[in-house]
Amino acid sequence: MLLVPCPWCGPRDEVEFSYGGQAGIAYPADPEALDDAAWADFLFMRDNPKGPFAERWNHVYGCRRWFDVVRDTATNDLMEA
Amino acid sequence: MRYWRAAEPKRSYDVVVVGGGGHGLATAYYLARNHDVTDVCVLEKGWLGGGNTARNTTIIRSNYLWDASAGIYDHSLTLWEGLEEDLGFDLQFSQRGVLNLAHDQGDVRSSLRRVNANALNGVDAEWLTPAEVAGFCPIVNVSPDVRYPVLGATLQRRGGTARHDRVAWGFATAADRLGVDVVEHCEVTGFVRGEGGRVEGVHTTRGTIAAASVALVAAGHTSVLAAMVGLRLPLQSHPLQALVSVLLDPVLGCVVMSNAVHVYVSQADKGELVMGAGIDAHNSYTQRGSFHVIEHQLAAALELFPVFAHAKLLRTWGGVVDVCPDASPIIGRAPIDGLFLNCGWGTGGFKATPGAGWVLAETIAKGEPAALAAPFALERFTSGALVDEHGAAAVAH
């Protein structure tokens, strides 16, 4: 069971959150300029490291805000909010 | 008696398979058996079959929606049906039937669609009414006054279970007999790169091994290996948990799966109820998930099977599954010469063990995709020709 550090509500039980995957995936600035490979990269390719991973969480049963956390996927240690 | 030799790795092979689970061992076996490629080594960083092969719920079925999926999964099921004889090894393969329950009108419509799609692809499938479900599996609660009533079910009679450990041992034994080296406790730490970046071997904890072809068959750790050659894949590694009850007298004679209520269960020959459910939502390589996932699946199990309230939980465990965006695997050549992939099976790889090995062996031996593997090439994420088996595969992935 993870204790997720919501920056507004403090550490709360994992069941209050939904998961948003890798952080920092921005919508393409100029979508029409993307070729198929670039679209594939944006839509489907994600980092999947065994180690520190910057990820999104939504405190859906709390303050309902999105935030980023760095978590070590090899240990589940939450490194920073 | 040893089933297979504890081989010392040679300095060079025609094919190195990275990953000594069922899929990797099946790949090596079919390379030797079907293509006479016997200069093959399987490298396993831990003990043989100790990853997801040892951690799944052993369910075998082929009732997938799409043609491409029906092709590879039913080929696999057909291989299962002759596998004990082929390997000369008892796998405790049991075609006890797989029920997929429907709990609302959307479930009913998609289930009937899947039954019809299966029939068109020559995959056995039947639709059962609630009364027929109760006839086939008397302990399922089909009363209409529960939160998620059973409105019917699909039944694949050819589906069932097999003993997971013996599948790994059987393939290892048969591959060893054909000259394949099975090397345990040997972790790949990097790749030998040649002209134009071509993969020409692997660096391991037991030295460097040259290879004309290298196949990554490492399930949840595929991304870690791919990153060593700068290859980014559409995979996310998640915990997937399962559990068993204490040993009980025979009470459940088939496999029961429920997508909406979200549990799947069978009873092992020894007597444990074997249950699994969905992945934990977050990425993790820890081989452990969160307790609320187990709580959720047991609540589902108790509504479907009130008699299970008498059972005690014996143990739980987790594996690391590599999930693709379309809940279908990636099989074929990597965009780097000399490198092949078999990954992305997510929560459903065990059933595909012989089929995946068969088509990957053919792809490696011939240097071009096997017909049954072609739809599952990595290029589908660029072309857009996804094989979307979410939900359609009868369980959430």
Min Cα distance A73 → chain B (Å) is: 5
**What share of chain B has pLDDT > 90, as a percent?**
93
HEC secondary structure over chain B:
CCCCCCCCCCCEEEEEEECCCHHHHHHHHHHHHHHCCCCEEEECCCCCCCCHHHCCCCEECCCCCCHHHHHHHHHHHHHHHHHHHHHCCCCCCECCCEEEEECCHHHHHHHHHHHHHHHHCCCCCEEECHHHHHHHCCCCCCCCCCCCCCCEEEEECCCEECCHHHHHHHHHHHHHHCCCEEECCCCEEEEEECHHHCEEEEEECCEEEEEEEEEECCHHHHHHHHHCCCCCCCCEEEEEEEEEEEECCCCCCCEEEECCCCEEEEECCCCEEEEEEEECCCCCCCCCCCHHHHHHHHHHHHHHCHHHHHCCEEEEEEEEEEECCCCCCEEEECCCCCEEEEECECCCCHHHHHHHHHHHHHHHHHCCCCCCCHHHCCCHHHHCCCCCCCCCCCCCC
Q: What share of chain A is helix, strand, coil (3-state, %, to 5)?
A: 15, 35, 45
Min Cα distance B272 → chain A (Å) is: 26
Query: Hey, are the CB atoms on B291 and A45 less than 8 Å from each other?
Result: no
- Per-residue pLDDT of B22-58, as tens digits, reads 999 999 999 999 999 999 999 999 999 999 999 999 9
Q: How many CB pairs under 8 A join A and B?
A: 64
Nearest to A44 among B234, B281, B292 (CB): B234
Chain B interface, best mutation among A43, A50, A56, A71, by max B CB count within 10 A: A50
Averaged pLDDT, B258-276:
92
What's the rounded Cα separation, in Å, for the pair B329 and B353?
Answer: 12
What's the rounded Cα separation, in Å, for the pair B186 and B366?
Answer: 28
Averaged pLDDT, B74-79:
98
Cα–Cα separations (whole angstroms), residue B62 to B29, B87, B110, B159, B256: 22, 21, 16, 7, 15
Nearest to B382 among A14, A19, A37 (CB): A37
Min Cα distance A1 → chain B (Å) is: 4
Taking CA–CA distances from B227, the nearest residue in chain A reads: A49
Averaged pLDDT, B334-338:
97
Please count the other Cβ atoms lying within 10 Å of the Cβ belonging to residue A61.
12
Q: CA nearest B347: which of B252, B244, B264, B233?
A: B264
Query: What was the pLDDT predicted at B390?
Result: 81
pLDDT at B125 over 60: yes
Spell out which chain A residues touch chain B, with contact meaning CB-CB distance below 8 angstroms.
Answer: 1-2, 14-15, 18-19, 21, 36-37, 39-41, 43-50, 53, 55, 71, 73-76
Please count the other Cβ atoms lying within 10 Å of the Cβ belonging to residue A8.
11
pLDDT at B371 over 60: yes
Query: What was the pLDDT predicted at B1?
Result: 75
pLDDT at B365 over 50: yes
Min Cα distance B139 → chain A (Å) is: 31
Query: Hey, are the CB atoms on B223 and A49 less than 8 Å from each other?
Result: yes
Query: Hey, are the CB atoms on B381 and A40 less than 8 Å from each other?
Result: yes
Chain B interface, best mutation among A15, A43, A45, A48, by max B CB count within 10 A: A48
Averaged pLDDT, B123-146:
96
Kindly list the residues from chain B whose CB atom is less than 8 angstroms away from the CB atom of residue A50: 221, 223-224, 237, 285
Query: What was the pLDDT predicted at B397?
Result: 45
Kindly list the residues from chain A whose CB atom is less than 8 angstroms away from the CB atom of residue B383: 36
Min Cα distance A36 → chain B (Å) is: 6
Taking CA–CA distances from A57, the nearest residue in chain B reads: B282
pLDDT at B226 over 50: yes
Query: Hey, are the CB atoms on B233 and A48 less than 8 Å from each other?
Result: yes
Helix axes B22-35, B164-177, angle to 10 degrees: 30
Chain A contact for B328 (CB, 8 A cutoff): no
pLDDT at B260 over 90: no
Kindly list the residues from chain B whose CB atom is less than 8 angstroms away from the CB atom of residue A49: 223-224, 227
- Per-residue pLDDT of B282-296, as tens digits, reads 999 999 999 999 998
Min Cα distance B238 → chain A (Å) is: 10
pLDDT at B250 over 70: yes
ipTM rounded to 2 decimals: 0.96
Query: Hey, are the CB atoms on A15 and B285 less than 8 Å from each other?
Result: no
Query: What was the pLDDT predicted at B392?
Result: 52
pLDDT band for position B394 (50/70/90)?
very low
How far is Cα of residue B315 from the mean position of the Cα atoms in its chain?
21
Min Cα distance A44 → chain B (Å) is: 5
Kindly list the residues from chain A whose CB atom is less than 8 angstroms away from the CB atom of residue B384: 36
pLDDT at B396 over 70: no
What residues 218-257 of chain B have any CB closer than 8 A to a CB of chain A? 221, 223-224, 227, 232-237
pLDDT at B267 over 80: yes
